[in-house]
Structure 1
Amino acid sequence: MAGFDLPYEPIRRRLYTPAELFQGFDPAQPASFAQTADFAIYQHFVAQGRTAPDNPYMGMVQALHDNTITQATNVFKAGRRVAAIMGGHKLARSAPAYRSVAVMARRLTRQGILVCTGGGPGAMEATHLGASLAHSSDSDLAEALAILGTQPTVPALADIVAPSGAIDPDCVAMAHAWFAPAYQVASAIRGPAESLAIPTWHYGHEPTTPFATHTGKYFQNSIREDGLLSLAKQGIIYAEGKAGTIQEIFQDGAQNYYRTFEYFSPMVLFGVQYWTDTYPVVAVLQKLFDPADYAKYVLVTDDVDAAAHFIEQFTPLS
């Protein structure tokens, strides 16, 4: 764009692909994590003042980019049944719940449902792993989990880019070590089934998953969050998570309460003890919703098949 030195297109006609976002990544070169297009955009975003840049024209360009991402997303999801799986970014790749999420996503994808997430680590990564392996066997999933398990937990990377735009090489090396197994597994999948990631450079220190075939990445997290929830009209499964996931539960609850998007979409709280005792959101939802709506549209379960079936069987406006 004339007058700007931008590492991204302000007006896009398409969603991002893994090949585009991670161009420049080399599994054998730790420094290469900071040489990808995705990282360059994040570094520029931070150096310009993040979502409140001093240069008003930079804010305008970010808004223009985000609007075109919304338009491209609308084109991509048109005519599809879209469901989401939400959950914590710290969910370890070695955790049983990580595998459960992957299995649910694989099943939903096999049923012709497009799954989407916030596009980051943890439960989000597990979702896209499962979706990408929809045409693969249980042994393929087990092999992928074994490779990913060599780097089980996403490291703390909040300081990977300083406000000045300076890069912390130690954080880059840690990010590379964690990302490399996922990149390796994703690159080896032939004909991955489609899935949609909706991440944000607001959380750009968290690596975007390479397992999603299509990525709509935003600068403004508020626009991204609202849009992500509104996409999933087939329903949402909530795996274990903390502040961000709880925010999504209640934001989704408000949309359903007011029928913001035409009708009440199913809500599955996956993890009975977690959502009734550890973070007791179930009690609030029971009080919030009409009893008939709660009985029909909300499921609290530990059963992978029951969770997936609850989403699959939903027919809007039924």
Structure 2
Amino acid sequence: MHPTTPAQPFDGTHDREIESLAEFDEVVSTEGTLSHYRVQAVDLTDRTTALLALDTTGAVFLGCPMDPEAAAKARASGALVFPPVPGLSFDPYRGFVYSPDELFESLHEGYEATPDARTYAWFQQTKADGDIFASMLRSIHDDAVSDALDELLVGARVVGVMGGHAMARGTEAYTGAARLGRELARAGLTVATGGGPGAMEAANLGAYAAPLPDGMLTEALQLLAKAPAFTPSITDWATAAFEVRARWPQGGPSVGIPTWFYGHEPPNPFAAHIAKYFSNATREDGLLARCTAGVVFLPGAAGTVQEIFDNATPNYYESRGEPTPMVLVDRAHWTERLPTWPLLRALAKERSMEDRIALVDRIEEAPEALKRLGG
């Protein structure tokens, strides 16, 4: 056996991450070394010559396919090499958030054939098994998604739109939520939602419609109404959305942050950037924490109520700095059906967040209220 160089101790420092083959080639060309770089989910099978020639001391390769000789050389020079995990429907080391096309690949064969559905099935099976390796993979995946989302949103003014998944296409409420998303996006804000159906989809649809002529949204709403809900057929529901995307391919970007925790609730295809998590707790906290320009809460049930107070807590304690605006829409819903507003107002009394909360009757009032509160 040949002696190998022991791995370098981890000191918490590195130059930067490499998340694409183009970045890899740029670093090789300009720096001439991979020492202390983190190479994340990049297929390096055609870069064996570079890997054999370059210094990889202290480098970390996360899920990068490479020639066995190159992997052995990297390990011998002190790099850590985490090979790809075979047989998974997702990449735990991914360097970017998801796209709708990626999650819904093979939709023509039925939703069950998509990576989104297969990943949920894997999640359910491994949770039932209590497999510690699977649990580790889920944690790595969610951390990688969070890192990718942070990189995506650098410098963005993010406004959240929260609301229930039961809001059906073809309804007045759905139309209002879509118009809200469009107006917020046209104001230069990045719309972020929980990434699912209903109110979330409507807001993402509105942001998608923002750079397009006004009539596009009207036509899109009519096309979507033929599949009003994701039950009983997610396939029909998602197919209708992709038909809209195909007819108007130049839609605007927005963010969806859904979870496989709610397997019955698929992601919507109108968010260009989808940060999907296994852990709902990580997803909820991360979604609200990134809404730096405030949050609009449309009528919803338990999930939306939870989001209101998940957002109220850091505002109350000012743990994220200055409180961010919160706008609740539909006075009757939030004061009578689910009397959340009185408690929120009581919490805010005589605190700095008192001037950052508002209750409006109609969804059309939300953008102005958000602006008035400093969003």
Q: Same fold (TM over 0.5)?
A: yes
Q: Deviations over 1:191-213 (max 9, x none)?
A: 21110110111112212100000
| Residue among 131, 138, 143 paired with 2:214 | 138
* Alpha-carbon distance in 1 for matches of 2:351, 2:123: 46
Matches for 1:52-131 after TM superposition, within 5 Å: 53-131=129-207
Superposed CA offset, 1:115-152 (max 9, x none): 10111000000011000000123321111111111122
Match of 1:286 among 322, 342, 345: 345
Amino acid in the other structure paired with 2:92: P
Q: Distance in 2 between matches of 1:226 and 1:2?
A: 29
Matched, 1:18 2:100: yes
Find the partner of 1:45 among 101, 123, 126.
123
Q: Between the two structures, name the one with larger relative contact order (CA 8 Å, sep ≥ 6).
A: 1
What is the number of equivalent residue pairs in this alignment?
A: 293
Aligned match of 2:41: none
Q: TM-score, structure 1 length as denominator? A: 0.87
**8 Å Cα contact 1:234/1:314 also seen in 2:** no
Structure 2 residue identity aligned to 1:92: A
Secondary structure of the structure 1 residue equivalent to 2:175: helix
Q: Quick check: 1:183 aligned with 2:242?
A: yes
Name the SS for the 2:328 alignment partner: strand
Structure 2 gaps, min length 5? 1-82
* Equivalent residue, structure 1, for 2:273: 214
Distance 1:8 1:300, change over 3 A: same
Show the counterpart of 1:234. 293
Q: Secondary structure at the match of 1:178?
A: helix
SS of equivalent to 1:202: coil
Within-5 A mapping of 1:299-310: 299-310=358-369
Q: Distance in 1 between matches of 2:249 and 2:201?
A: 18
Identity percentage over the alignment?
35
Residue pair 1:119, 1:199 contacting (<8 A) in 2 also: yes
Q: d(CA) in 1 for partners of 2:320 and 2:353?
A: 17
Tell me if structure 1 keeps the 8 A contact 2:323–2:353: no
- Tell me what 2:223 maps to: 147
User: Contact (CA 8 Å) 1:266, 1:310: kept in 2 or not?
Assistant: no
How far, CA to CA, are the matches of 2:85 and 2:236 in structure 1? 37
Q: What whole-Å deviation, never above 9, does each CA across 1:83-141 have from its counterpart, x for those lacking one?
A: 10000000111221111111111111111100101110000000110000001233211
Q: Deviations over 1:224-251 (max 9, x none)?
A: 0110110112111011100000010111
1:5 is aligned, of 63, 87, 100, to 87
Quote the offset at 1:183 in angstroms: 1.9
Cα gap change, 1:294 to 1:3, in 2 (>3 Å): closer
Give 1:138's aligned amino acid: D
Within 5 Å, give how 1:241-280 maps onto structure 2: 241-280=300-339
C-alpha separation in 1, matches of 2:353 and 2:341:
10
Residue 292 of structure 1, CA deviation: 6.2
Q: Distance in 1 between matches of 2:218 and 2:135?
A: 44
Deviation, structure 1 residue 16: 0.6
Asked whether the 8 Å contact 2:185–2:210 carries over to 1, the reply is: yes
Q: CA deviation at 1:72?
A: 0.3
| 3-state SS of paired residue (2:296) | strand
Aligned residue for 1:7, secondary structure, equals coil
Deviations 1:168-189 (CA, angstroms, capped at 9, x unpaired): xxxxxx2212222112112322
Return the alpha-carbon distance in structure 1 between the equivalents of residues 347 and 191 of structure 2. Answer: 27
Give the equivalent residue in structure 1 for 2:110: 32
Q: Compared with structure 1, are the counterparts of its residues 10 and 294 closer, same or farther at alpha carbon in structure 2 (3 Å cutoff)?
A: closer
d(CA) in 2 for partners of 1:38, 1:187: 20
Q: Can you give the 5+ residue segments of structure 1 that lack an aligned partner in the other structure?
A: 157-173
1:70 is displaced (CA, Å) by 0.4
- Quickly say closer, same or farther: Cα 1:112–1:121, change in 2 above 3 A: same
SS at match of 1:49: helix
Q: CA deviation at 1:69?
A: 0.3
Is the contact made by 1:83 and 1:311 (CA closer than 8 Å) also made in structure 2? no
Match of 2:7 in 1: none
Q: Partner amino acid for 2:280?
A: N
Q: Per-residue deviation at 1:314? A: 4.9
